[in-house]
Structures are given as C-alpha cells and as structure tokens.
C-alpha cells in the first residue's frame, strides 16, 4: 500500500536489518503533466551527479548545496544546460531542472530495485 511510505521509517528498518518492499507513492506533478519524473534521471554516486534522460553530461546536473527540511538533510542538484535542450518541454517549465536527493536516498532506491525485481 503506497500510503505507508515513510522515508525515515524505511531507513530505521534498514538499519535494524529489516528488508522493506513497499511501493513508493506517485506524487510527481511533472509525471502527471507528461514530463520526466525524478525516476527518469540516473544518479551516479561516483560522480555525485545525475544523468538526465537527454543524456546530458554528468557534470552539468551536479550537486550545489545541502539544507535541512523537516529534519531531513537534502542535497540539491541542477543544471543550466536545459535552455538549449530539445527535451526541455518534456522535462521542466522552469529555467533549469532541479532534483532533490535525501542523504539516505540509496536506501529508498534499494527498496525500489527490490520491488522492480519482484513486483
């Protein structure tokens, strides 16, 4: 049930050895409007950057700063390469595409991978 998704609870389960398999809520307004969602971007941990669906060079969609919201440390990524991109209208209505990544997002990605492998 998508209604039970709680990032902090999933992290707590992971830290105690409990394996979570739970579908993530689909709340992206971008996806609903026919644009790319965050799941369409590939995180590259060795670069601490994202690759966009257009294949834009990693260093362009890069980490800029972190902040804390509701007790969660969030990392902010964006690129200015969007202006000339042929996929811009399918990606963002803003000047640039921004992506937020929780400091423990890798735990959430592992939950999604398990679900993808065993729906």
List the domain boundaries for the chain: 2-117
Residues of the chain with pLDDT under 50: none
pTM of the full structure: 0.78
User: In whole angstroms, how large is the CA radius of gyration of the chain?
Assistant: 15
Q: What's the CA angle centered on 66, arms 16 and 25, to 5 degrees?
A: 55
Which pLDDT score, from 0 to 100, does residue 97 have?
87
Check residue 1 and give its pLDDT.
Answer: 53
The whole-angstrom separation of Cα 110 and Cα 117 is: 11
pLDDT of residue 3: 64
Angle at which helices 105-117 and 7-15 pack, to 10 degrees?
80
Output the pLDDT for position 116.
87
Give the phi and the psi of residue 86 in degrees, each rounded to 5. Answer: -70, -15
User: Residues 6 or more apart from 64 whose CB is under 8 A from it?
Assistant: 76, 77, 78
Average pLDDT, the chain: 85
């Amino acid at each position: 049930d998508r209604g039970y998704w709680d990032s902090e609870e999933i992290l707590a389960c992971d830290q105690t050895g409990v394996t979570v398999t739970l579908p993530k809520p689909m709340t992206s307004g971008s996806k609903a409007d026919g644009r790319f969602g965050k799941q369409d971007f590939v995180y590259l941990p060795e670069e601490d950057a994202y690759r966009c669906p257009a294949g834009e060079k990693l260093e362009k969609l890069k980490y800029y700063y972190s902040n804390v919201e509701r007790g969660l440390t969030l990392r902010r990524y964006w690129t200015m390469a969007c202006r000339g991109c042929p996929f811009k209208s399918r990606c963002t209505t803003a000047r640039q595409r921004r992506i937020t990544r929780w400091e423990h997002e890798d735990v959430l990605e592992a939950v999604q991978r398990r679900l993808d492998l065993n729906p």
